[in-house]
């Protein structure tokens, strides 16, 4: 029997969790876009269009996916410290590694902080 080394097993787990999260983000993006399209349809039927610039469906999905990468740095007391555009920026500026392991539930904390996806708070 071949045994999978622990480091490889962790990589497999992180990839599976990343795939699940990506699917969840895509489903959520589709729900939001559909809801907004329904609102726009209703507004045009009621004759009360709002004077806002509308994004195309592709632009909205792209924006949602971009926002889905935003992470929040939380101190151990549970207070948000800072929002970061993505994990790479936070890791580079703080000089730490492994934020994704916390985001995917493989670790409790990194660098003295808990990390969460902004969309999950």
| Chain centroid to CA 29 | 11
| pLDDT, position 49 | 54
Most trustworthy range by pLDDT among 3-7, 12-16, 80-84, 116-120? 80-84
In CATH terms, 69-121 corresponds, of 3.10.180.10, 1.20.1740.10, 1.10.10.10, 1.20.1250.20, to 1.10.10.10
| pLDDT, position 117 | 85
CB-side exposure of 41: number of CA atoms within 13 Å? 6
pLDDT for residue 75 is more than 90: yes
| pLDDT, position 72 | 93
In this structure, are residues 72 and 83 in contact, taking their beta carbons and an 8 Å threshold?
Answer: yes
């Amino acid at each position: 029997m071949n045994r999978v080394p622990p480091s490889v097993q962790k990589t497999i787990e992180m990839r599976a969790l990343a795939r699940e999260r990506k699917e969840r983000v895509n489903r959520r993006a589709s729900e939001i876009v559909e809801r907004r399209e329904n609102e726009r349809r209703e507004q045009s039927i009621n004759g009360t269009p709002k004077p806002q610039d509308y994004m195309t469906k592709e632009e909205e999905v792209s924006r949602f996916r971009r926002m889905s990468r935003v992470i929040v740095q939380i101190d151990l007391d549970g207070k948000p410290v800072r929002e970061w555009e993505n994990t790479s920026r936070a890791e580079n500026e703080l000089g730490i590694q492994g934020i994704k392991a916390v985001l995917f539930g493989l670790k409790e904390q990194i660098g003295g902080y808990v990390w969460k996806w902004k969309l999950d708070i």
